Amino acid sequence: MQKTFQVGSKSFVLDQAKAEAAFSAKKVINGRGTMTFNLLPLKYQWAYDLYRKMKANHWEPEDIPMGKDIEQWRDEKTVSDVERWIIRMGIGYFSAAEGIVGDNIQHVVRELVTAPELKLVLGRHAHEENIHADSLLYMISSLQINPHECEAMFEDIPTIVRKNEFVTKTSHALRRDLDLTLPENKRLLAKNIFIFGQCMEGTQFYGLFGMVLSLYRQNKFPGIGQMFRYTLRDESNHIEVFRNLFMDLVDENQEIWTAEFKEELRSLMREAVQLEKEFIRDCLPVNSIGLAADDFVAYIDYIADRRLESCGLAPLSPGLKNPLPWLAEMMDIKKEQNFFEGRVTEYQKASSLNVASDDEL
């Protein structure tokens, strides 16, 4: 079908069939060039919906008061050395990890996908990693922690080094022009998306999330706790972005979805879980009030299986129950209406308010 626009002496013919053919060639990877820039018509509606949801959750670190945290940090009696160590590990691990995630989005995933609505949501995702990194800077300067300590933790704590090596090893090989028509390269990208979304953001972030929120639950470090809750809300969207991306990539490239590949992904998760458990033991070398390393270790097994199942993969330890039900409740921050009072709501534009929010975990 053709439509002609007559404007003055000129006539313009628009060909619907040609546009539809271009649309059907819009793909996660190896899409048609002309559909690399046109958001409309949307093919990946989920990407646009998540972009809007993420935008509506916008927050800025300096809006969160740190007065109480500073007071507690200096007071020997209120918080123990173990509790201070958890905060240091949180800052030490995340200040580098947020950057690693953002870098992988910008230089690997966003470069390789071709549909523009995917690039749109990935741009927002990368920006949120900047906000998270910025929130850690804010914590460091508020508590007056020596900034060199962060770099030192990144270099000197072996369990942090190993977690970072685990994720970056799939990132570097994907940086240059990659022939994504080859199944082995498609698998490399799928693996990268699985590792970053499900193993790292989806599982390896949760040991510290749990510990910091456990402190928050005891009214310790309320400002830091609140920032971690905002971060966690963002991460749940990031996990969903990468899960959808992974599922659509597999769906459009069925040849990569072999029993062998599925097993490879499951063993990557097994490795991620092992690294996270060792890291938890470093964060919590001795148990503290309301904080037992065994509980967090069990929680990692539980959450890793939820991630695997969400990607159509078999769990590693079927039948596990959530050992920390309060954590799931605390992570679902929408239930707490008052939490949104204050500056955060002001960022929400009226147009964004009608977007349904249905975070899980």
Q: Tell me the catalytic residues.
A: 138
Spell out, one character per residue from 5 to 44, where the chain touches Fe ion: x when CB under 5 A holds, - when not.
----------------------------------------
- Identify which range of 1-9, 231-239, 292-300, 329-337 contacts Mn ion by CB under 5 A: 231-239
- Tell me the closest approach of the beta carbon of residue 235 to Mn ion, in angstroms: 5
- Identify which range of 11-19, 34-42, 66-74, 237-245 contacts Mn ion by CB under 5 A: 237-245
- Tell me the closest approach of the beta carbon of residue 239 to Fe ion, in angstroms: 10
- Tell me the closest approach of the beta carbon of residue 125 to Fe ion, in angstroms: 9
- Tell me the closest approach of the beta carbon of residue 131 to Fe ion, in angstroms: 8
Q: How far lies 277's CA from each of 59, 84, 172, 282, 285, in Å? A: 31, 20, 25, 9, 12
Task: Give the pair of three-digit tokens for residue 181.
Answer: 């028509």
DSSP for 183-225, please give it.
HHHHHHHHHHHHIIIIIIIIIITHHHHHHHHHHHHTTSSHHHH
| Vertex 90: Cα angle to 89 and 92 (nearest 5) | 60
Give the whole-angstrom CA distance, residue 180 versus residue 176. Answer: 11
Residue closer to Mn ion (CB basis): 201 or 276: 201
- Tell me the closest approach of the beta carbon of residue 306 to Mn ion, in angstroms: 17
Q: How far lies 357's CA from each of 6, 236, 239, 283, in Å? A: 45, 11, 15, 33
Burial annotation 245-259 (CB, 10 A radius, 16+ → b, else e)? bbbbbbeebeebeee
Total of chain residues touching Mn ion, rule CB under 5 A: 3
Residue closer to Mn ion (CB basis): 31 or 90: 90
User: In the bound complex, which residue of the shown chain has the CB atom lying closest to Mn ion?
Assistant: 238
Residue closer to Mn ion (CB basis): 201 or 248: 201
- Give first-to-last CA distance, the chain, whole Å: 47
Residue closer to Fe ion (CB basis): 124 or 186: 124
Q: Is 307 in the site for Mn ion (CB under 5 A)?
A: no
Residue closer to Fe ion (CB basis): 132 or 307: 132
Q: Is 117 in the site for Fe ion (CB under 5 A)?
A: no
Give the whole-angstrom CA distance, residue 264 versus residue 137. Answer: 37
Residues 6+ positions from 86 with CB-CB distance below 8 Å:
208, 211, 212, 215, 283, 284, 291
Residues 6+ positions from 158 with CB-CB distance below 8 Å:
none
Give the whole-angstrom CA distance, residue 326 versus residue 46. Answer: 29
Q: Is 238 in the site for Mn ion (CB under 5 A)?
A: yes
- The entry of Fe ion, Mn ion, none that residue 295 binds, CB within 5 to 8 Å by partner kind: none
Q: Is 26 in the site for Mn ion (CB under 5 A)?
A: no
Q: Is 220 in the site for Mn ion (CB under 5 A)?
A: no
Task: Give the pair of three-digit tokens for residue 326.
Answer: 């309060």
- Identify which range of 68-76, 154-162, 232-240, 307-315 contacts Mn ion by CB under 5 A: 232-240
| Vertex 127: Cα angle to 126 and 128 (nearest 5) | 90
Q: Is 27 in the site for Mn ion (CB under 5 A)?
A: no
Q: How far lies 229's CA from each of 56, 197, 214, 331, in Å? A: 15, 18, 11, 7
- Tell me the closest approach of the beta carbon of residue 261 to Fe ion, in angstroms: 27
> Which one among 98, 117, 295, 305 touches Fe ion, defined by CB under 5 A?
98
- The entry of Mn ion, Fe ion, none that residue 220 binds, CB within 5 to 8 Å by partner kind: none
Q: Is 186 in the site for Mn ion (CB under 5 A)?
A: no
Under rule CB under 5 A, which residues in 129-188 are in contact with Fe ion? 129, 132
Instruction: Count how many residues are written for the chain.
Output: 361
- Tell me the closest approach of the beta carbon of residue 206 to Fe ion, in angstroms: 12
Under DSSP, is residue 86 helix (H, G, I), strand (E, B) or coil? helix
Residues at the site binding Mn ion, with contacts judged by CB under 5 A: 201, 235, 238
- Interacting residue ranges for Fe ion, rule: CB under 5 A: 98, 129, 132
